Structures are given as structure tokens and as C-alpha cells.
Amino acid sequence: MKSPNFGIFHIRKWFLQVEDSLAGETGAPADGAPLRKIVIAACIHNPYAGRYEQDLSAWIEGSPELGREFGRRIQEAAGPQKIESYGKAILVGLDGEYEHGNALLTNPAADPIRVALGGGKAWVPSTGKRGVPGTVLDIPLAYKDALYVRSHYDTVSASFNDAPNRDEVLVCWAFATRGRLNARLGGLKAADAKGLDGLV
């Protein structure tokens, strides 16, 4: 059994991926600032791997500490840039259950990240699957204060060359500094969002 090294968790490795888009797919320049997308991931030993466990509350109850560290790391990675969008995903090693990863994506884990971003009224879009090292995750993104802001529906892809092992879970959070480059499909604009109910 791997002993905890971060709260109740044993974290083997942290990952950081940053990409900056200065132009769109056809070469059209950005309509404003470049789009920065950031993925932060923690590779965590899964103590439930290989067996069924009815009660996953220990992971849920311990997840706020994990959320606070994700929050600290996104502040560090973003620097002075404001984060407008977020999303989350899990990649569970093959000896684990999808539910194991989901235990680390609930509100107790997400709320400290919202605090670090200075708010986040909207629910966080999420996805996940079981997989092996090198599996590609497509992480959905949406505007953090109002889901109806169409320009911020986006995706960031990430893969990790040596994670997860069969008895590990990768917990991933993704962030973006703006909506899609040259978004032109109408709908509610981020500047007009009220951010009261997480929808508009």
C-alpha cells in the first residue's frame, strides 16, 4: 500500500500543459488576445483498485485539499491573466472504476477552485473514462459564470505518457483565458452575462 503524501492521497506526479493560440485554423488572426488553455493534472494512487467499495466518502471528504492545490496551481500558471472558462475530467487506470475518479470531481473538490478563480457560478462540465498511459482526454470547457455563453463552449485535449498506471487515477482540470478565437455563432456574450444563477 502506498502511504499518503498529500492529505489522504498518494500523488505520484503533477502535470501541467499550456497552449497559446494566436490564430484560428485557417490562419485568421485572433480577435483580441491570444487564447491560452491550461491543463493541470494529478496522478493519484487508487486504494480502491481491484475491488468493489460501496463507501467512497473518504475520497469525497478529502477532496477539498486537492481542490485547494489545483486552485493554487492555476493561479500560478495563469499569472496575471484572468480565467474565464473551466472544465474537468478523470482518467481511471484499468483496475479502477469510473466512479472512483468521479468521487474526486464533486462540489467539495470544485468549490476551492471556484474560490481561487474569484468565483464560478456555473456548474463545471466534465467527462472521463478508463484508460492507459497515452490515452487522449478531451476535456470540455464552458464559461465559468454562465453556461449560456456560447462563445466559450470549447475543448482541450491532453494525454500523459506514463499515467495512469492500473492502480491510479488522473484528475484533470482545464482552464481557458477567453472564448474561442473569432467565435461568431451569436448567443449571450460574456460581457453581458449576469452570473447570478450559473446559466445567464
* Every domain of the chain and the residues it spans: 11-192
% of residues, the chain, pLDDT over 90: 94
- Cis before residue 34, ω within 30 degrees of 0? no
pLDDT at site 72: 97
Indicate the helix (H) or strand (E) that contains 38: strand 35-45
Q: What is the pTM of this model?
A: 0.95
d(CA 190, CA 68): 26
d(CA 142, CA 71): 17
Mean pLDDT of all residues in the chain? 96
d(CA 142, CA 180): 10
pLDDT at site 197: 86
What's the average model confidence in pLDDT over 7-26? 97
pLDDT at site 196: 85
Model pLDDT for residues 66-124, shown as the tens digit of each residue = 999 999 999 999 999 999 999 999 999 999 999 999 999 999 999 999 999 999 999 99
d(CA 189, CA 157): 25
pLDDT at site 132: 98
Q: What fold characterizes domain 11-192?
A: 60s Ribosomal Protein L30; Chain: A; (3.30.1330)
CA 38 to chain centre: 9
Model confidence at 1: pLDDT above 80: no
Contacting residues for 118 by C-beta, under 8 A, at least 6 apart: none
